[in-house]
Amino acid sequence: MQSIIDFTQGLCIIEPFLKQHGFEFETLDLGRNSGGAFTMAIYKKESKKFIICYRDSIEHVVYQFFKSIVSHDFYFEQLGLADKKQFSSIRWEDKLLEFKKVLHDFEYLTDDFFDGQCDRLIEIAKLQDNVMQIPDKKKRDEFIYPLDETKIEMARQAFKKREFKKCIEIYLTIEDVNSLNELDRKIVAISERFINQ
């Protein structure tokens, strides 16, 4: 599948930077949701995670410290660096160009996320959470946590493979619990039963 080849080649562009800053490749997940097949890669350094989701191009770039999660765009916006950011959701014909743009942007996040204590990320995640409390559903839906739908699908895939612990771990990273339906609650309950046997 060409998109996986493109994604793998793209990861080769950003991976040296990630490894240089102590991040190790944790997992590559393949899944499918209403939008079609997708791939997600996660790199981890202690309590920090860098998550990148790819379909036919990069869909989401996310930074996580413990339970504080911030999207690439919102991170830059709140740091006052929106004008410095090169990565955007524009789909380029050159698929590797997107990864080069993400790599360029990493330099601006080195002090806080890659090498720092994530002080700004924590503040920005709280602000992002406050935005999620906006009662206007349309505004809320336009905003953050585009990864929740993907994570739910990944948790369901893990459940189908009987990877119950992984399934629960993925569900625990979902920010908007209102996005979980009755099926998800049943999956969690069944998975917990299998883990506790």
State the pairing for strand pair 68-71/36-45. unpaired
Q: What is the mean pLDDT of residues 15-30?
A: 91
> Can you spell out the DSSP letters for 99-143?
HHHHHHHHHHHIIIIISS--HHHHHHHHHHHHHHT-S-HHHHHHS
Report domain extents, the chain: 2-142, 147-195
Q: Which of 141, 140, 135, 53 is nearest to 98 (CA)?
A: 53
> Does the pLDDT at position 192 exceed 70?
yes
This prediction's pTM: 0.69
The larger pLDDT score, comparing residue 123 to residue 137, is at 123
Whether 146 has a pLDDT exceeding 60, the answer reads no
